[in-house]
Structure 1
Amino acid sequence: MAITIRRILEQVQNGTIRIPAFQRGFVWDSERVAYLMDSIYKGYPFGSLILWRTKEKLSYEKRLGPFELQDVEPEYPIDYVLDGQQRLTSIFGVFQTDLSPTEDSSWTRIYFDMGAHSDLQESQFVCLPENEVKPDRHFPVGTFFDVTAYRQATSSLSPEQANLIDQVQSVFKEATVPTQEVATEDRAKVAIVFERVNRMGVELDTFQLLSAWTWSEDFDLQERIRSLADEVSPHGFGDISEDTNLILRCCAAVVAQDASPAALMDLKGSEVRGRFDEIENGVRGAIDFLRSNLEVKTLANLPYSALLVPLSVFFSTSGSAGRKLTDEQRSALKRWFWKSCFSRRFSAGVLRNLKRDIGEMRKLQKWGKSAIDTFAAVVDADYFMEQSFTIGTVHTKTFILLLANRRPLSFVSGSPIDLGPVLQAYNREEFHHLMPRSFLKGQGKSTGEINKLTNFAIISADDNKTLGGVAPSVYKSRMPGASLDTILESAACPHSLFDDDYAIFMAARSRVLAEYGTGLMTAS
């Protein structure tokens, strides 16, 4: 299917093509708009529009770029743009002549450069400010679909130029924009389509779509989320307000016991509003548990943000006192957490695993027992030997939390490390090599070999300077001898560190780390 540019202009004006509120704003710059015009002119592929055809008008809609569309009663059905909004806005903005923009629209002033050589690569279309326009060279393409404006713009052209511009105009008047249509009243299907075309590697981006049509005007979800974020911000979780997807997952999980897009769309707005206190209590309780029991000091510390969803279900309560944990429940939650991290539980099958865990959390909440922690998970020495230390990866985040849960001590003073600043800052400055890089480089070790998880510990930048880049057997003398055993134990580090044999040390420490990780997953 395809639609002409003139038809696009007509349908946007009469309200048949609309922009749903869940779409992001217009972000293209003038250069991209000019290149789109050039692609249309030269017949290059430039993508299609995906339209959702429905008989139901959404309560919330977005304007088209800088244009406030007229509030007209549309003809039905309506076509909502699921994909291609940037292209549609560019085409409409350049060629429409009826609406006045409400904000900067300089990107719409596109001109055909009559003096430019026809080139397969270089664009013959440019966006120019008025003071740079040369009427004998730059023709305003925005007049192509306005008879009066076109006649006036061509009146001063030479016959050769007028003939050229007529040919260019003819291309655009005959050009069509490819379209794909999703005709359905099933919003679950729409959610899946939107998720797949907008995913770009971000899991469940479709929750942004759902937030726009699930709640009504008397409930400001964004304001409630901001309020919750302000409340937990002093505890390092203020950035939760930036993860709308995560909050909406928690909503669906608490209310519907299912974090899928379809489950959220089936919710009644009144039910969500009525239970939002319960949702907030669940999130607060989950954050408190993570901080108090697992040394998670900020959302960025979580190997998977999805871990917050089942925990929010367990801690959800309509009361104000919060949910009290039994020792058995606490242990089960901790085993579930570590098993989820080491098994990479939420790297694939996210919705399936969430649904299972949500159900088990409800059982644990109600009966005190469940199968929440019974799935298989194994951690061995290879986990630490094969993975590199890279801030932001699941393996590294899990490793850092593992180290933090041993309550590490300073390598120089022997005093406990204040983990709050270390984990909230969450950068490389507080994590350093046990066998220094310069020492290993001197032995011919590659960067890849040096940067394995096994060779890292929580060591402050100041401590690292004190220890220096020398062999461990040398910097051992700079550590407090009376506390040496305790320091090494707190870092899950064997004494073989001081033998200066990298292979032996790596094998020994990897075994210690694996044993500790296994213990976390099986602790009673």
Structure 2
Amino acid sequence: MSDLKTLFKRVEYDLEGLLHFIDLGDIALPDIQRPFVWTNAKVRDLFDSMYRGFPVGYFLFWESSTETGTKQIGIGTKQYQQASRLVVDGQQRLTSLYAVFRGQKVLDANYKERQIEIAFRPRDGKFDVTDAAIRRDVEWIPNISVLWSSGRASYSLVRDYLKQLKVKVDLTEEEEEVIAHNLDRLFDLRKYPFTALEIASSVDEEQVADIFVRINSKGVPLNQADFILTLLSVFWEEGRRELETFCHSARTKSTIGGKASPFNHLINPDPDQLLRVSVAFGFGRGRLKSVYQILRGKDAETGDFTSDKRDAQFEVLKAAQAEVLDLTNWHQFLSAIVGAGFRSAEMISSNNALLYAYAFYLFGRKRYGVPEHVLQKLIGRWFFSTSLTGRYTSSPESVMDADLARLRSITTSEEFCDVLDGIIEGNLTSDYWQITLPANLDSSSARNPELFCYIASQNLLGTRVLFSHKTIRDLIDPALQTKKKPLERHHLFPRAYLEANGIVDLRHINQMANFALLEWPENIDISDDAPSIYAPKVLARFDEDARGKMMEDHALHAGWESMSYDDFLAARRSRMASIIKQGFAALA
């Protein structure tokens, strides 16, 4: 117990002192923390609590004299490049306070600069998030940052505010005194007292990482990926930064070192997601719990943790991550997914399925030497099938662990292909195509994987948009920058028509089988007409062969427009399942 007491000391700060140390770069955020900035509403509540004199918690700092990865609060350079105190707990509060008091932008979880603006109404001491209405209201100070970042004295600020207010509002002496008092009270928040518990510099990095995990798990529980990212920050800070840089570039279209970019239209990856791919490829593990122990250097036989063991395991992870972040691997994999008919992030129902497919792509390309033309179609089939069947929806780590276990005894490219094709065939049986899939199409979910695979199949088959000469895959291309989406989901039996005929249940109206993709002008023209009215008119524009092909490609049968709604749905689900099967077969 006495040893534990030596880990901490208690230090009192006022807020201005804390901000000064951040200005210098003497206090910084450690990379062992997840990127996060509070919402403006939460920052507003923080200021309201401080203004009313409520306690808002303590900070936990680490006095560090060693080289470890840090990131400064705010945007811009600091006087000190190496901080002597790192924020272990209290990141959200301190970042938010610094942003408001200094009027500085911060980097949010999406790697974008963000300005936090909090408004204050001196008449009644109310805080709010700034909006257009507040900016127009002379009673509000729309951005309280000006109180501290302007460098002006409080007397001058109060005088100018009252002068502007009295142009629009008649004030009594008593009201002026209340306003002046409330502004002075707000201005003096820079003297707000804080307590910090500081971890001694003698505490090593791994202990600090453990303390961080223990403290933060009281709030939002950390998962196993967070634990491993913590280890990366302590023992391989460069690797953590590489992950973050890759993810940043994937979102912003920016380049890495002036070269190609990981930007794509299928996924905005997070560091923990790519970490899962590295762990799967490097260690053949789907469960991250055991890998956390491996990376800490645990000996499986003795249970002891050794630095040599840890260093050796990190070398494995480094090699795996290099392949995961290799842009050639990344874009070749993504081309396999696009080649399977999935053109945009809107068609990806499971990021787990996508990322695990990337791990298998790396196995095939780098470990088993599968020819690229073979691998492209194999991974396309794999992703199509795992998305369609929801393979990684329930207990994804356990399922992936079992899938990876099948690879441990194989040595050739042929065996690798056989393993994946065997799993695919075991799931996509004749009963699946004829019974299970039509039943699963009985859904109104807007993000149903069967629906996305149906559209992917139409892309693969070169299907033209219903009532149009243009193909779906061309108009669904995310590279098109238009004010209005070229395609819209159209109710084949319009909602107003169904409601007029007594069908009012939205789940029944919005069945997947009642939708088809149309160009938006066509969708507007059809409006709420009955299918027996609009369909013959539109189809009359096409010759008999074109009409027949269009109906077949969109899972519609002769006379569908005159069928009862329920009979139409049942018949179309079966035909949609057939189109999905045809699309999948095109990947063989």
- Would the aligned equivalents of 1:40 and 1:172 in 2 still touch at CA under 8 Å? no
1:349 aligns with 2:404: no
1:483 aligns with 2:546: yes
1:291 aligns with 2:338: yes
**Structure 2 Cα separation of the partners of residues 279 and 111 of structure 1:** 43
Cα 1:295/1:179, change in 2 over 3 Å: farther
- Would the aligned equivalents of 2:457 and 2:582 in 1 still touch at CA under 8 Å? no
* Residue 81 of structure 1, aligned match among 88, 95, 105: 88
Name 1:400's counterpart in structure 2.
455
1:495 alignment partner, SS class: coil
TM value normalised by structure 2: 0.60
Cα 1:452/1:72, change in 2 over 3 Å: closer
Cα 1:416/1:37, change in 2 over 3 Å: closer
Counterpart code for 2:341: E
Cα 1:16/1:438, change in 2 over 3 Å: same
1:422 aligns with 2:473: no
2:88 alignment partner, SS class: strand
Q: CA deviation at 1:289?
A: 2.0
**Structure 2 Cα separation of the partners of residues 173 and 374 of structure 1:** 66
Name 2:415's counterpart in structure 1.
367
2:331 alignment partner, SS class: helix
1:268 alignment partner, SS class: helix
**Structure 2 Cα separation of the partners of residues 501 and 17 of structure 1:** 70
**Structure 1 Cα separation of the partners of residues 39 and 195 of structure 2:** 21
1:185 aligns with 2:207: yes
1:64 aligns with 2:64: no
Identical aligned residues as a percent:
16
Name 2:555's counterpart in structure 1.
492
Counterpart code for 2:549: T
Number of aligned pairs?
482
**Structure 1 Cα separation of the partners of residues 351 and 156 of structure 2:** 59
What are the within-5 Å matches in structure 2 for residues 145-156 of structure 1? none
Name 2:50's counterpart in structure 1.
40
Deviates more, 1:183-192 or 1:295-304: 183-192
Q: CA deviation at 1:39?
A: 0.6
1:485 alignment partner, SS class: helix
**Structure 2 Cα separation of the partners of residues 203 and 428 of structure 1:** 42
Structure 1: runs of 5 or more not aligned: 96-100, 140-157
1:459 alignment partner, SS class: strand
1:507 aligns with 2:570: yes
Deviates more, 1:277-286 or 1:266-275: 266-275
What are the within-5 Å matches in structure 2 for residues 84-95 of structure 1? 84-90=90-96
Cα 1:402/1:190, change in 2 over 3 Å: farther
1:472 aligns with 2:531: yes
What are the within-5 Å matches in structure 2 for residues 79-158 of structure 1? 80-82=87-89, 84-90=90-96, 128-129=146-147, 135=155
**Structure 2 Cα separation of the partners of residues 508 and 116 of structure 1:** 67
Q: CA deviation at 1:502?
A: 1.2
**1:187-210 deviation digits (Å, cap 9, x = unpaired):** 58957976995689x996788767
1:81 alignment partner, SS class: strand
**Structure 1 Cα separation of the partners of residues 208 and 382 of structure 2:** 36
**Structure 2 Cα separation of the partners of residues 495 and 231 of structure 1:** 50
**1:82-106 deviation digits (Å, cap 9, x = unpaired):** 5x323124556889xxxxx79579x
Q: CA deviation at 1:318?
A: 4.8
Cα 1:302/1:190, change in 2 over 3 Å: farther
Cα 1:452/1:367, change in 2 over 3 Å: same
**Structure 1 Cα separation of the partners of residues 272 and 68 of structure 2:** 21
- Would the aligned equivalents of 2:119 and 2:127 in 1 still touch at CA under 8 Å? no
Cα 1:410/1:32, change in 2 over 3 Å: closer
Cα 1:340/1:55, change in 2 over 3 Å: farther
- Would the aligned equivalents of 1:295 and 1:404 in 2 still touch at CA under 8 Å? yes
Q: CA deviation at 1:63?
A: 1.4
**1:422-441 deviation digits (Å, cap 9, x = unpaired):** 24369582432222344334
Counterpart code for 1:459: L
Q: CA deviation at 1:260?
A: 6.2
Q: CA deviation at 1:493?
A: 2.6
* Residue 386 of structure 1, aligned match among 443, 447, 469: 443
1:432 aligns with 2:493: no
What are the within-5 Å matches in structure 2 for residues 278-357 of structure 1? 280=326, 281-292=328-339, 294-316=340-362, 317-318=365-366, 323-324=371-372, 330=377, 333=379, 336-357=382-403
Two-structure CA RMSD over aligned residues (Å): 5.9
**1:2-46 deviation digits (Å, cap 9, x = unpaired):** 9754499579949996411355476776x9656524313535464
Name 2:280's counterpart in structure 1.
253
1:216 alignment partner, SS class: helix
**Structure 1 Cα separation of the partners of residues 538 and 120 of structure 2:** 72
**Structure 2 Cα separation of the partners of residues 420 and 49 of structure 1:** 56
**1:361-382 deviation digits (Å, cap 9, x = unpaired):** 6758562322543776864444
Cα 1:423/1:199, change in 2 over 3 Å: farther
2:471 alignment partner, SS class: coil
- Would the aligned equivalents of 1:403 and 1:458 in 2 still touch at CA under 8 Å? no
TM value normalised by structure 1: 0.66
Q: CA deviation at 1:419?
A: 0.8
**Structure 1 Cα separation of the partners of residues 105 and 374 of structure 2:** 59
**1:211-231 deviation digits (Å, cap 9, x = unpaired):** 766353999563696658985
Deviates more, 1:12-21 or 1:121-130: 121-130
**Structure 2 Cα separation of the partners of residues 518 and 285 of structure 1:** 25
Cα 1:349/1:117, change in 2 over 3 Å: same
Counterpart code for 1:81: V
Deviates more, 1:8-17 or 1:276-285: 8-17
**1:274-299 deviation digits (Å, cap 9, x = unpaired):** 8735753443332222222x211234
Cα 1:171/1:9, change in 2 over 3 Å: closer
- Would the aligned equivalents of 1:50 and 1:180 in 2 still touch at CA under 8 Å? no
2:516 alignment partner, SS class: strand
Structure 2: runs of 5 or more not aligned: 1-7, 107-114, 130-139, 160-176, 296-312
**Structure 1 Cα separation of the partners of residues 474 and 349 of structure 2:** 17
Cα 1:420/1:455, change in 2 over 3 Å: same
Deviates more, 1:53-62 or 1:11-20: 11-20
Q: CA deviation at 1:300?
A: 3.9
- Would the aligned equivalents of 1:436 and 1:469 in 2 still touch at CA under 8 Å? yes
- Would the aligned equivalents of 2:279 and 2:285 in 1 still touch at CA under 8 Å? yes
- Would the aligned equivalents of 1:411 and 1:463 in 2 still touch at CA under 8 Å? no
